[in-house]
């Protein structure tokens, strides 16, 4: 590890000599002035004023313990109480060993017994003490997270291992806290607002860890780690963070997820692995509304093993014909009798060992393996070919919506790729609708607007998918180049019973009508939801109320009807 001298080079440090005897001040000054910039004070009061004016540049204080007025002991107590003795080392001038030892107990770094008989000892001791303190400050600079004051992760793990070493018979909880959609929050309110959130959470979790015999760190960006003696429930921590955020006038609408993994006494498992599992528990809550807590358990462990096994099969799944595209019908409900108006293409994995798998169990693995673009391209091609088949068989143009992920949108040639697929299938661009997640707009609205304009210029119909899942913004509806708005049913799940939910849906429909954007409500399962939406003059719905997603051969019955 680099020492402070490696960074500071030959810069002269500053030393303050505090002594009421002029002869001794001069003697000490002659000894130290060759290596240091030296200045003097005759008493404690004068020294305190100099320290307050120069504390940022002071490297050492040489302090006589016996002076009129404020003596050295009193000044030392002041510096120790306010913490400056922890930053600026003090070497005392003592009348004997007992006095010197007493000064060390009160915060001094070292002492000289008067009279000084070996000037070289003064120079060596001054250099040693200054070096030790400067090295400690360099270590502290890397030990703590600059934004929150919590530990950095490397030092966090070091301290956690020390705790385990001296308390081997104690169960410990590894806690991972992550702010929900933090990057979206920053995009909406700015980085300064985001930093306020992180500092506030850091204050709360740091205090909670200290009060409960634990330690806390900021892992990276919006991730926090806490290690503390096991508790049967950490609901108290969730409430503390929730309340602390809610009561802070500078923090808006922030939620978080908490994952907990208990490390049993005597476990030899590496701490990094213990915390990875706590993060896995937190990840199971991704996408849920509000703040929540999840505990890593045997079921979660089996899911992790399942993911690892599944990951090995991903690369060849498309080539083996295991990936299947299914279609869920969309119905126009503005007429007396609902009319088929299109479909959404969804994906399933018919695994040879595990059977039919739904997207929630494998999409994240495709993203992790970098194969999500290949999967999306496969779905686009299959949907385009299916549109062509229905046109040939039934002489109907039935548009199909396909998902275009945030990763796809990073490709500068994405519009040309989609045009090539449409042309190869022999269909019109307006027949392949492109669904863009609401969150993609919030994360990079300017760039996305440019891409969507290119889509529309080439004739594609753009749908905003999942409106209401995240930080929904009415500004998004007015500024984003889009044709259709898809509303998440979760936003209005109790629309039939709750007047506020119903009013919210009315408001969304009114705004969409003003902007001439048809609205599709997805996830409609109950008859009462269908009837309420129809009475509100909603345009289209999809969901289990009409049909689950089905293979193309089964979808034919909807086309025929």
What is the band of 473 on the pLDDT scale with cuts at 50, 70, 90? low
How confident is the model at residue 1, as a pLDDT?
Answer: 41
176 and 278: one domain?
Answer: yes
Distance between CA 271 and CA 215 in Å, rounded? 14
427 and 521: one domain?
Answer: yes
User: Euclidean distance between the first and final Cα of the chain, in Å?
Assistant: 75
Of 137-146, 224-233, 367-376, 514-523, the least confident: 137-146
Beta strand spans in 308-460 (E) = 323-332, 339-351, 355-357, 400-403, 432-437
Q: In what order do the strands lie in the sheet with 215-220?
A: 215-220, 223-229, 172-179, 256-263, 292-295
DSSP, collapsed to helix, strand or coil, labels residue 465 as strand
83 and 157: one domain?
Answer: no
How confident is the model at residue 346, as a pLDDT?
Answer: 96
What is the band of 322 on the pLDDT scale with cuts at 50, 70, 90? very high
* Structural domain boundaries, residue 467: 312-560
Q: Is the pLDDT reported for residue 30 higher than 50? A: yes
How confident is the model at residue 7, as a pLDDT?
Answer: 36
What is the band of 491 on the pLDDT scale with cuts at 50, 70, 90? low
How confident is the model at residue 115, as a pLDDT?
Answer: 86
What does the pLDDT average to over 374-388? 96
Dump pLDDT digits (tens) for 150-178: 988 878 888 888 788 778 889 999 999 99
Instruction: Among 236, 269, 296, give the residue marking a domain's end.
Output: 296
Q: Per the domain annotation, does 508 fall within a domain?
A: yes
Domain CATH number, residue 249: 3.30.70.270
277 and 413: one domain?
Answer: no
Q: Is the pLDDT reported for residue 494 higher than 80? A: no
What does the pLDDT average to over 237-261? 88
What is the band of 476 on the pLDDT scale with cuts at 50, 70, 90? low
403 and 500: one domain?
Answer: yes
Of 248-257, 345-354, 381-390, 493-502, the least confident: 493-502
How confident is the model at residue 393, as a pLDDT?
Answer: 93
Q: Per the domain annotation, does 340 fall within a domain?
A: yes
DSSP, collapsed to helix, strand or coil, labels residue 456 as helix
Higher pLDDT: 235 or 286? It is: 235
What does the pLDDT average to over 379-396? 95
Distance between CA 13 and CA 344 in Å, rounded? 71
171 and 137: one domain?
Answer: no
Q: Per the domain annotation, does 305 fall within a domain?
A: no
Q: Per the domain annotation, does 303 fall within a domain?
A: no
Q: Per the domain annotation, does 307 fall within a domain?
A: no
Q: Report residue 537 CA to chain centroid gap.
A: 40
178 and 224: one domain?
Answer: yes
Number of domains in the chain: 3
- What are the start-end ranges of the H helices in 426-484? 438-443, 445-457, 474-479
Against a cut of 0.75, is the pTM above it?
no
Dump pLDDT digits (tens) for 338-361: 999 999 999 999 988 888 888 888
Q: Is the pLDDT reported for residue 323 higher than 60? A: yes
Q: In this structure, what token pair is assigned to residue 407?
A: 């990763």
Give every CB contact of residue 297 below 8 A, 6+ residues apart in sequence: none
Give every CB contact of residue 135 below 8 A, 6+ residues apart in sequence: 3, 4
Mean pLDDT of the chain: 86
Query: DSSP character for 146?
Result: T
Instruction: Among 248, 268, 296, give the residue marking a domain's end.
Output: 296
How confident is the model at residue 497, as a pLDDT?
Answer: 66
How confident is the model at residue 275, as a pLDDT?
Answer: 92
Instruction: Among 296, 329, 351, give the residue marking a domain's end.
Output: 296
DSSP, collapsed to helix, strand or coil, labels residue 290 as coil
Burial 497-520 (b: 16+ CB within 10 A, else e): eeeebbebbeebbeebeeeebbbb
What is the band of 182 on the pLDDT scale with cuts at 50, 70, 90? confident
118 and 80: one domain?
Answer: yes
Q: Per the domain annotation, does 111 fall within a domain?
A: yes
Higher pLDDT: 407 or 343? It is: 343
Q: Is the pLDDT reported for residue 239 higher than 70? A: yes
Q: Per the domain annotation, does 502 fall within a domain?
A: yes
Q: What are the backbone angles phi and psi of residue 467, rounded to the nearest 5°?
A: -60, 125
Query: DSSP character for 254?
Result: -
Q: Is the pLDDT reported for residue 8 higher than 50? A: no
Across 181-195, 502-516, 538-552, which has the greatest mean pLDDT? 538-552
Q: Per the domain annotation, does 408 fall within a domain?
A: yes
Higher pLDDT: 57 or 336? It is: 336
What does the pLDDT average to over 432-451? 79
What is the band of 448 on the pLDDT scale with cuts at 50, 70, 90? confident
Of 125-129, 398-402, 479-483, 515-519, the least confident: 479-483
How confident is the model at residue 197, as a pLDDT?
Answer: 92
Domain CATH number, residue 342: 3.20.20.450
DSSP, collapsed to helix, strand or coil, labels residue 540 as strand
Domain CATH number, residue 106: 3.40.50.2300
What is the band of 3 on the pLDDT scale with cuts at 50, 70, 90? very low
What does the pLDDT average to over 107-125? 87
25 and 158: one domain?
Answer: no
Distance between CA 217 and CA 176 in Å, rounded? 10
Contact 445, 480 (CB under 8 A): yes
Of 88-97, 230-239, 289-298, 467-476, the least confident: 467-476
For the chain, count helices (H), then strands (E). Answer: 22, 19
Residue 355 forms beta bridges with which residues? 351
What is the band of 84 on the pLDDT scale with cuts at 50, 70, 90? confident
């Amino acid at each position: 590890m680099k020492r402070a001298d490696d960074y500071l080079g030959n810069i002269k440090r500053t030393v303050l000599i505090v002594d009421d005897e002029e002869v001794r001040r001069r003697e000490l000054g002659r000894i130290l002035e060759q290596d240091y910039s030296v200045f003097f004070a005759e008493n404690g009061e004068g020294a305190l004023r100099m320290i307050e004016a120069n504390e940022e540049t002071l490297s050492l204080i040489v302090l006589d313990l016996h002076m009129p007025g404020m003596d050295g002991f009193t000044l030392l107590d002041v510096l120790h109480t306010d913490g400056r003795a922890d930053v600026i080392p003090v070497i005392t001038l003592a009348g004997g060993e007992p006095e010197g030892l007493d000064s060390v107990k009160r915060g001094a770094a070292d002492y000289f017994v008067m009279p000084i008989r070996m000037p070289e000892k003064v120079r060596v001791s001054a250099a040693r003490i200054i070096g030790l303190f400067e090295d400690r400050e360099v270590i502290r600079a890397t030990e703590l997270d600059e934004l929150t004051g919590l530990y950095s992760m490397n030092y966090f793990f070091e301290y956690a291992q020390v705790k385990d070493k001296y308390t081997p018979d104690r169960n410990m909880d590894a806690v991972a806290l992550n702010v929900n959609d933090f990057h979206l929050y920053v995009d909406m309110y700015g980085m300064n607002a985001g930093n306020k959130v992180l500092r506030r959470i850091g204050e709360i979790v740091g205090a909670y860890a200290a009060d409960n015999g634990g330690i806390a760190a900021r892992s990276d960006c919006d991730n926090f780690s806490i290690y503390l003696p096991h508790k049967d429930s950490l609901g108290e921590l969730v409430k503390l963070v929730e309340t602390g955020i809610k009561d802070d006038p500078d923090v808006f609408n922030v939620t978080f997820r908490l994952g907990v993994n208990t490390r049993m006494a005597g476990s030899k498992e590496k701490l990094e692995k213990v915390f990875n599992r706590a993060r896995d528990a937190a990840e199971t809550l991704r996408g849920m509304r509000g703040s929540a807590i999840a505990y890593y358990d045997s079921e979660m462990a089996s899911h992790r093993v399942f993911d690892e096994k599944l990951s090995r099969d991903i690369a060849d799944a498309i080539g083996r014909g295991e990936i299947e595209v299914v279609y869920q019908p969309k119905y126009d409900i503005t007429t007396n009798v609902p009319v088929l108006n299109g479909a959404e293409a969804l994906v399933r994995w018919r695994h040879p060992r595990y059977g039919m798998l739904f997207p929630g169990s494998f999409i994240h693995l495709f993203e992790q393996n970098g194969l999500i673009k290949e999967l999306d391209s496969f779905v686009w091609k299959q949907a385009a070919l299916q549109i062509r088949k229905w046109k040939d068989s039934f002489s109907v143009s039935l548009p199909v919506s396909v998902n275009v992920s945030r990763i796809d949108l990073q490709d500068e040639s994405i519009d040309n790729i989609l045009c090539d697929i449409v042309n190869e299938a022999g269909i019109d661009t307006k027949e392949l609708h492109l669904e863009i997640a609401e969150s993609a707009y919030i994360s990079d609205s300017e760039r996305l607007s440019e891409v969507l304009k290119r889509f529309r210029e080439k004739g594609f119909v753009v749908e905003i998918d999942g409106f209401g899942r995240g930080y929904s913004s009415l500004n998004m509806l007015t500024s984003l180049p889009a044709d259709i708005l898809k509303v998440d049913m979760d936003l209005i799940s109790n629309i039939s019973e709750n007047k506020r939910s119903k009013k919210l849906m009315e408001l969304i429909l009114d705004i969409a009508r003003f902007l001439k954007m048809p609205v599709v409500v997805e996830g409609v399962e109950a008859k009462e939801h269908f009837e309420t939406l129809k009475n509100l003059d909603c345009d289209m719905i999809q969901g289990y109320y009409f049909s689950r997603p089905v293979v193309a051969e089964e979808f034919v019955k909807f086309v025929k009807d």
